[in-house]
């Protein structure tokens, strides 16, 4: 029995079979780890692309809001959709952007920014801005920081408001 234990714990070196078994075990452990590294790189790359798309949409939104008025040289009025539109190509590698400014009541304008890849909207950002503020401030509908709808009331000589 002692002889077999000496053979089992022979410390003179490694045999070729032991080296091959060790490499096989390491290969079985390392291969899935490498696949995980490749998978995590793909996920990080997709996240980075999505982040850059969001940043591009935010940039166009801020650019449109900072203008303070609708730039008719850049925006074209679409009478069917009743909005101003602007198309920008080559935003990112294979994306384009479509910006719409939709007028609403009292100078409020809605801004929609779509980032498009292969004809599909991959990101949509919406916001709003009040344009033509000077015209609104001088409007009789805004008096003493209150909104007065003149079409609904008739002002009598005594200063009281009476419904029509």
**Residue pLDDT, tens place only, 78-131:** 999 999 999 999 888 789 999 999 998 888 999 999 999 988 999 999 999 888
Residue 33 tokens read as: 């780890």
Residue 2 CB contacts under 8 Å (≥ 6 apart), including other chains:
none
Q: What percent of the chain has pLDDT over 90?
A: 40
Residue 107 tokens read as: 């100078």
Strands, E assignment, the chain: 76-78, 83-88, 95-103, 108-117, 120-130, 142-143, 146-147, 153-155, 161-163
Residue 21 tokens read as: 């078994």
Give, as one character, the DSSP assignment of residue 19. Answer: H
For the question of whether the overall pTM of this predicted structure is more than 0.75, the answer is no
Cα distances (angstroms) measured from residue 75 to each of 54, 71, 131, 156? 22, 6, 15, 45
CB 52 within 8 A of CB 92: yes
- pLDDT at site 149: 45
């Amino acid at each position: 029995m002692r002889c077999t234990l000496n053979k089992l714990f022979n410390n003179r070196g490694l045999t070729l079979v032991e080296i091959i078994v060790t490499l096989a075990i390491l290969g079985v452990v390392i291969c899935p780890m490498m696949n995980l590294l490749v998978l995590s790189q793909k996920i990080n790359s997709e996240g980075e692309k999505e982040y850059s798309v969001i940043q591009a949409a935010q940039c166009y939104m801020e650019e449109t809001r900072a203008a303070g008025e609708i730039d008719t040289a850049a925006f074209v009025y679409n009478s069917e959709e009743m909005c101003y539109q602007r198309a920008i190509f080559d935003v990112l590698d294979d994306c384009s952007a479509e910006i719409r400014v939709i007028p609403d009541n009292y100078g409020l304008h809605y801004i929609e920014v779509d980032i498009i890849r292969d004809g599909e909207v991959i990101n949509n950002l919406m916001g709003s801005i009040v344009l033509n503020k000077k015209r609104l401030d001088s409007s009789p509908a805004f008096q003493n920081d209150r909104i007065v709808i003149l079409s609904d009331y008739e002002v009598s000589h005594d200063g009281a408001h009476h419904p029509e």
